[in-house]
A and B are shown apart, each in its own frame.
Chain A
Amino acid sequence: MTKPVGMEVAVAAAEAVALCNIDVAACYPITPNTHIAEHLADIIADGRIDAEYITVESEHSALSAVMGASGTGARTFTATSSQGLMYMHEILPITPAMRLPVVMGLGNRAVSGPINIWNDHSDIIMQRDSGWLSIFADNGQEAVDMFIQAFKIAEHPDVLLPINVNMDGFQLTHVVEPIVFPTQAQVNKFLPPYKPFASLHPDHPLSMGTLGLPEIYTEAVKARDVATVNAKKVIVQIWQEWEKQFGRKYEPVMTYKTAGAEILILTMGSMGETAEVAVDALRKKGVKVGLLKLKLWRPFPFDEIRKAVRGAKTLVVTDRALSYGGPGGPVCSEIRAALYDQPNRPEIVNYIIGLGGRDVRVEDFMKMIEGAPKAKKSGDAYQIYGVRE
């Protein structure tokens, strides 16, 4: 294992993608993912990996192009954020339908309007039902690890689904962190070459992306759902393999100081580390609080959530996106659904935080945790935290 190096996380993400020896990348610039696209272009231009880099004219074409390339059996990558992801929206559900294991890097950013380039999760949340696997990194090391894991997960013969690796824009993509890189030999050992189930070549002509009539559409949806649900087992298994080879642990729901916790707070993405500091401070004050960090967004880890909250009286769920006029934050909706028919479920408080780059500090997490009983009493399904009035 090599020594940690200080590197901007977006740049490190591109280095991780290069370690996976991709064949084709197609990226369109958008803040804050641009540094991934730029650094990957640098790596290819310098001849460090042998790959084609398509400078597409839009995100819509970026995803279309990597799907075409993936159809030929190539290992493919694209990256985007916010409006770019929204522009891909038409194509996003077709990638998993065609079982093309495209890997996408997302520098999560708020969706317009008002136009805002800073971080929240509204971009990926709006694409929730597109059928992509979706994982979240807390820090730079996790981002690097997850990109390498992502190719193995997506290309696994029992999965064959596209996956996006989520990194909070700026708050993660643009910070310099100490990162341990695996060697090329270690990556080669972990990640086998991609063996496509089917590919576009005159030696074995086939039709990809055909028309599904009502007689077959439902079955196609069912097949896709089964594949997505089953992917969790493979993801967990690949994370265990990673831990065995590299010593860093990944689980669908990571826990921090949850032993004996009466109050749990749940985060997804880079705010987990801020929340850890808040939990440390509150524990020192004698508050029995612990932290849950959601790493796997799709497929959603229902069983792991049920297990993780066992014994807690209150669960504070933080969300970085909102479903307007809906039941609250999208993460919280899933958790409420997971716990609805559970006996002895904790009381749930939902805070919408960190929208459009609004900073959430350690003391904010402490306030949210300490204010949970009052928030519960209000009867509101959710609270938008820190609104300036």
Chain B
Amino acid sequence: MSTLTVTPNYATGVVSNFDLFAGKLVDREEYFSCGHRACQGCGEALAIRLMCKALGKETVIANATGCMEVISTLYPTTAWKLPWIHVAFPNAAAVGSGVEAGLKVMRRKGRIPDRYVKTVAIGGDGGTVDIGLQALSGAMERGHDMLYVCFDNEAYMNTGIQRSSATPFGASTTTAPAGAASPGNRTWKKNVPEIMVAHNVPYVATACHSYPIDFMNKVKKARAVKGPAYIHCLAVCPTGWRAESKDCIKLGRLAVETGIFPLYEVENGKYRLTVEKPEKLRPVTDYMKMQGRFRHLGKEEIGYFQDRVNLEFAKLMNKVECIESWDELKG
């Protein structure tokens, strides 16, 4: 019979005594093998490789439709050395919910070995922040013991660079193109990590493959949470961003150094920058000028972009400095 355990989806995610690990301690095993068909300089494929190393063998992956599913599993080949399932575009979080429930009940009933196996659902920005947002919200709200990682390359790259709600302001995409009457995408990037914080998810973090140890630390931390966890990983897409393949890592670092994509984590309500805030943020143009998707922007739009980045960064710092953890709030 099922044991009656009340597991609220907060206060269970405290990861104390968490040891940081250095580059030399990274798992040498490859769980996402080479030979897949990602573009040159694909940040997302790199991020997935790093994520798998941090997760380790005892993991099941539920993958949304998108670049990563397409490039890694052309039947009869697969790049995955972890058990992996793909069903459709909007439902990675829902499929992951079922995997988690299945593994839990099968273990309880003695039908699979009595070991803990982590369920991890992954998707791109479209599959997460747009069409998959409902399934993600449901899975996080229900408190499944599952990590969800969004690999955000800021547009529907798999289908050909169409605008998503994660596309940055001013970027030219194939469905929000720059033109005489349009500056490209007119909206500011949707803040999905904040939506996850609002779900009382005990561990929420942003990450980028250009900070590999930081990213892997976050994956390890999220893996240790006995409940839902969410990581939003910026994944540079040279193809879609109209940038050079060799600049993939550099662009990820510039996104952080300009304050456009700050790296932080929210652990039981407490915000913390995980990569130190530079004395002075670099101007956004350092980041933008390397990408064709922004090349049409004039002074006015760039000025707006810079002001908004400053505001968003200030909003984040306000949270970092002022918001207390749930434990502190409980007194």
Q: Could you say which of B79-87, B240-248, B270-278, B299-307 contacts chain A? A: B79-87
Q: Could you say which of B106-114, B210-218, B257-265 contacts chain A? A: B106-114
Q: Could you say which of A118-126, A176-184, A198-206, A254-262 contacts chain B? A: A198-206
The answer to whether A202 and B95 have CB atoms under 8 Å apart is no
CB < 8 Å: which of A68, A90, A210, A212 contacts B62?
A68
Given contacts A61-B91, A68-B94, A201-B112, contact A210 B86 (CB under 8 A): yes
Q: Is A72 an interface residue (CB 8 A)?
A: yes
Given contacts A60-B90, A72-B102, A203-B113, contact A65 B80 (CB under 8 A): no
Least CB distance from A206 to B in Å reads 6
Q: Could you say which of A46-54, A349-357, A363-371 contacts chain B? A: A46-54
Among B85-119, those with CB < 8 Å from A are 85-88, 90-91, 93-106, 108-109, 111-113, 117
Interface core residue of B58, B88, B134 (most chain A CB under 10 Å): B88
The answer to whether A74 and B106 have CB atoms under 8 Å apart is yes
Query: Hey, which chain A residues are within 8 Å of B102, CB to CB?
Result: 23-24, 52, 68-74, 76, 200
Query: Hey, which chain B residues are within 8 Å of A44, CB to CB?
Result: 2
Q: For the complex, what is the distance from the CA of A65 to the CA of B83, rounded to whole Å?
A: 16
Query: Hey, which chain A residues are within 8 Å of B74, CB to CB?
Result: 210-211, 213
The answer to whether A51 and B105 have CB atoms under 8 Å apart is yes
Q: For the complex, what is the distance from the CA of A50 to the CA of B104, rounded to whole Å?
A: 11
Query: Hey, which chain B residues are within 8 Å of A201, CB to CB?
Result: 60, 83, 103, 112-113, 117
Query: Hey, which chain B residues are within 8 Å of A24, CB to CB?
Result: 98, 101-102, 105
Q: Is B181 an interface residue (CB 8 A)?
A: no
Q: Is B18 an interface residue (CB 8 A)?
A: no
Q: Is B310 an interface residue (CB 8 A)?
A: no
Among A70-111, those with CB < 8 Å from B are 70-74, 76, 90-91, 94, 98
Closest to B92 in A: A64
Given contacts A64-B88, A70-B102, A207-B78, contact A50 B83 (CB under 8 A): no
Q: For the complex, what is the distance from the CA of A207 to the CA of B82, rounded to whole Å?
A: 8
Interface size class of B (residues with CB under 8 A): 35 or more
The answer to whether A52 and B105 have CB atoms under 8 Å apart is yes
Least CB distance from B127 to A in Å reads 12
Q: Is B26 an interface residue (CB 8 A)?
A: no
The answer to whether A211 and B138 have CB atoms under 8 Å apart is no
The answer to whether B105 and A68 have CB atoms under 8 Å apart is no
CB < 8 Å: which of B91, B111, B141 contacts A64?
B91
The answer to whether B83 and A212 have CB atoms under 8 Å apart is no
Closest to B96 in A: A68
Given contacts A24-B102, A209-B85, contact A47 B96 (CB under 8 A): no
Q: Is A57 an interface residue (CB 8 A)?
A: yes
Given contacts A23-B102, A60-B94, A74-B105, contact A67 B87 (CB under 8 A): yes
Q: Is B73 an interface residue (CB 8 A)?
A: yes
Query: Hey, which chain A residues are within 8 Å of B97, CB to CB?
Result: 26, 54, 56, 61, 64-65, 68
Q: For the complex, what is the distance from the CA of A47 to the CA of B100, rounded to whole Å?
A: 20
Per-residue contact bits, chain B 180-203, to A (CB 8 Å; 1 contact, 0 not): 000000000000000000000000
Among B34-82, those with CB < 8 Å from A are 57-60, 62, 69-70, 73-76, 78, 80-82
The answer to whether A209 and B86 have CB atoms under 8 Å apart is yes
Q: Is A115 an interface residue (CB 8 A)?
A: no
The answer to whether A70 and B138 have CB atoms under 8 Å apart is no
Query: Hey, which chain B residues are within 8 Å of A323, CB to CB?
Result: none
The answer to whether B88 and A71 have CB atoms under 8 Å apart is no
Closest to B1 in A: A47
Among B291-316, those with CB < 8 Å from A are none
Least CB distance from A199 to B in Å reads 8
Q: Is B237 an interface residue (CB 8 A)?
A: no
How many contacting A-B pairs (Cβ < 8 A)? 183
Q: For the complex, what is the distance from the CA of A202 to the CA of B84, rounded to whole Å?
A: 10
Query: Hey, which chain B residues are within 8 Å of A210, CB to CB?
Result: 69, 73-76, 78, 86
Q: Is B137 an interface residue (CB 8 A)?
A: yes
Q: Is A216 an interface residue (CB 8 A)?
A: yes
The answer to whether A50 and B2 have CB atoms under 8 Å apart is yes
The count of residues in chain A whose C-beta lies closer than 8 Å to any C-beta of chain B is 48
Q: For the complex, what is the distance from the CA of A205 to the CA of B55, rounded to whole Å?
A: 14
Query: Hey, which chain B residues are within 8 Å of A72, CB to CB?
Result: 60, 98-99, 102-103, 106, 112
CB < 8 Å: which of A47, A61, A212 contacts B75?
A212
Closest to A207 in B: B78
Per-residue contact bits, chain B 7-43, to A (CB 8 Å; 1 contact, 0 not): 0000000000000000000000000000000000000
Q: Is B254 an interface residue (CB 8 A)?
A: no
Q: Is A383 an interface residue (CB 8 A)?
A: no
Q: For the complex, what is the distance from the CA of A76 to the CA of B104, rounded to whole Å?
A: 14
Q: Is A231 an interface residue (CB 8 A)?
A: no
The answer to whether A211 and B75 have CB atoms under 8 Å apart is yes
Given contacts A64-B94, A202-B59, A202-B117, contact A23 B78 (CB under 8 A): no
Given contacts A61-B91, A64-B94, contact A211 B73 (CB under 8 A): yes
Interface core residue of A52, A68, A73, A206 (most chain B CB under 10 Å): A68
Among A21-71, those with CB < 8 Å from B are 23-24, 26, 44, 47, 50-52, 54-58, 60-62, 64-71
The answer to whether B91 and A91 have CB atoms under 8 Å apart is yes
Q: Is A221 an interface residue (CB 8 A)?
A: no
Query: Hey, which chain A residues are within 8 Å of B75, CB to CB?
Result: 210-213, 216
Q: Is A208 an interface residue (CB 8 A)?
A: yes
The answer to whether A60 and B85 have CB atoms under 8 Å apart is no
Q: For the complex, what is the distance from the CA of A82 to the CA of B94, rounded to whole Å?
A: 21
Query: Which residues does A use to contact B, with CB under 8 Å?
Result: 23-24, 26, 44, 47, 50-52, 54-58, 60-62, 64-74, 76, 90-91, 94, 98, 199-213, 216
List 20 A-B pairs, Cβ < 8 Å.
Answer: A23-B105, A50-B1, A50-B2, A50-B109, A51-B105, A52-B2, A56-B97, A58-B138, A61-B94, A64-B87, A68-B87, A68-B100, A69-B105, A71-B102, A90-B88, A91-B87, A200-B102, A210-B76, A211-B74, A216-B76
Query: Which residues does B use to contact A, with CB under 8 Å?
Result: 1-2, 57-60, 62, 69-70, 73-76, 78, 80-88, 90-91, 93-106, 108-109, 111-113, 117, 134-135, 137-139, 141-142
Please give 4 more A-B residue pairs, beta carbons under 8 A apart, in addition to A50-B105, A61-B94.
A73-B112, A91-B91, A202-B83, A211-B69
- A-B pairs, 4 with minimum CB distance: A68-B98, A57-B138, A72-B102, A61-B94
